[in-house]
Amino acid sequence: MLAPKIDIDVLFLNWRDLSHPEGGGSERYVHRIAEGLAAAGLRVAMACAAHDRAPADEVVNGVQVLRRGGRLTVYPRAMALVRRSRPRLVVDVQNGVPFASTLVTRSPVAVALFHVHREQWPIVFGRIGGRIGWWLESVVAPRVYRRARYVTLSEATRDDVVELGVDAARITVTPVGIEPTPAVTSERSATPELITVGRLVPYKRVEHAVEVLARLGDRWPDMRLTIVGDGPSEERLRAEAERLGIADRVRFAGFVDEQTKHELLASAWVHLCPSVKEGWGLVVNEAGGHEVPTVGYAAAGGLQQSIRDGVTGVLVDDLDQMTEAVASLVEDEAARRAMGRAAAQHTASLGWPAAVASFAAFLARSVRDAGAGAPLGLRLDELAALLDRIATGADIDGNCAVGGQEGRASTRPDEDGPLAATTGTPAQPVAVADRAV
């Protein structure tokens, strides 16, 4: 049987894409990087899990998205795609469980790891399942990727990856990007308003935000909390608000579109991010774009980069400190406004062109590491040169736009190979406002 034609320069393997019901900030980051590479002329594809909100195959802003399998079966399906399509370069986005593409390809493999899931495994899968998951992440993955380069978003995560046994010299910390803050019509609330944004799942610990509101109720009886997002923890959170006697001051906004999310952020006084772990926390900077400071946990890792402690927000160690920090910001208007202005400046400094350029430089190093060990037909020297050009910013426009290709095209795997595209009807932008990294 003849080998399939090589028609993918960079193949991202990600368990979810941006349109997935559980897609979040990490999916947004991966898509924006992929779109930036595609805009610069590379043939970019993404393999991810299928779901009922999008077709099996489509082109989204220049990136060929291939949805196969489910929560677990996406892994073998992605490995099969790697073997069949023979991409020049594979990027394994490791969200706890490794794709292990190094076992099925001689092409260069790079690993994107946004945070280590040590604390999340038992929360999500229980004691036994958590041990299995942590074994996969801490023992199996470092061996599978023992020759691969890693990229992550924060120094805190870099340190965590080093603890797994990965050589620090193989880890690159690359910046994130933030879309320009959109104009809004809402004004800052006249009374104290807290907000939290993200999936309503146990490891996001939204109940801490509810508890903060309850603790400060005596001092500010008109204080409210808006919870943006949906998920399996919603019923439990509603019950907790009822138990604490504050249900009338907690608003569950649910899943909202991007504009609505920004309208809600703009009206808040303080944003709370009580997650167990965050790779970065894009919503921190989205709130910052509206001059809203964030209070979050230092132990979450990535928040140590997205929040400049004491300048754009406050990093705390526990619920008591979170409550105290929120009280201080609500009480001290001058300090809150100063932090808000600094947060907006920080957000304005985070652009996607710089993020794409940095990621391309990382990929170029990964390609060169492959050396003579890769298949001859991959023309890695040519790919490395293209990535070097992107790394200089020469092929990246200010918005990482994809040559005006804002619509989508459907793809049919049965015509002219696995990734042949046919023009389709442009789809509406995907609403993912209630997800966070």
- In this prediction, residue 425 carries a pLDDT of 32
Domain with CATH 3.40.50.2000 in the chain: 10-177+351-410, 193-348
| 47 φ, ψ (degrees, to nearest 5) | -105, 130
Tell me how far apart the alpha carbons of residues 149 and 102 are, in angstroms, rounded to a whole number.
12
Q: How confident is the model at residue 71 (pLDDT cuts 50, 70, 90)?
A: confident
CA dihedral 233, 238, 243, 247 (to 10 degrees): 150
**Tokens at 66, concatenated:** 């291939």
CATH superfamily of 10-177+351-410: Glycogen Phosphorylase B; (3.40.50.2000)
Q: What is the pLDDT of residue 41?
A: 93
- pLDDT band at 376, cuts 50/70/90? low
Percentage of the chain beyond pLDDT 90 is 65
Average pLDDT, the chain: 86
pLDDT given at position 375: 63
DSSP assignment of 306-321: HS-BTTTEEEESSHHH
pLDDT band, residue 137 (cuts 50/70/90): confident
Output the pLDDT for position 432: 30
Give the pLDDT confidence score for residue 403 in this predicted structure: 34
Rounded CA-CA distance 178/102 in Å is 31
**Alpha-carbon Rg of the chain, whole angstroms?**
22
Rounded Cα distance between 221 and 69, Å, is: 49
pLDDT digits (tens, 9 = 90+) for 329-352: 999 999 999 999 999 999 999 999
Count, residues in the chain: 437
DSSP 138: I
Pull the structure tokens for residue 277: 């772990």
pLDDT above 50 (res 4): no
- The pLDDT, as a whole number, for residue 6 is 52
| DSSP H helix total and E strand total for the chain | 14, 15
**pLDDT at 326 > cutoff 50:** yes
Q: What is the mean pLDDT of residues 251-277?
A: 96
The CA distance from 364 to 388, in Å, is 6
The CATH number for 193-348, chosen from 3.40.190.80, 3.40.50.2000, 3.40.50.2300, 3.30.2080.10, is 3.40.50.2000
Whether pLDDT at 74 is above 90: yes
d(CA 258, CA 263): 9
